[in-house]
Amino acid sequence: MLNIIDDFYLYFLNKKQISYYEDLFFSLNDTNY
């Protein structure tokens, strides 16, 4: 049971990180135009 929660937590952290980098990337893109 703990393992599943652990995996979910890691997955959630990764999602947050990815969306953070996506936002960063898109905002950098916006400044180019």
Is the torsion defined by CA of 26, 21, 14, 19 positive or negative?
negative
In this predicted structure, what is the pLDDT of residue 3?
81
Confidence at residue 32, expressed as pLDDT on a 0 to 100 scale: 57
- Chain segment 1-33, per-residue pLDDT in tens: 678 888 888 888 888 887 877 888 878 777 655
pLDDT of 29 reads 72
Whether pTM exceeds 0.85: no
Q: What is the pLDDT of residue 18?
A: 78
Q: What pLDDT was estimated at residue 13?
A: 82
Nearest-angstrom CA–CA distance, 11 and 32: 32
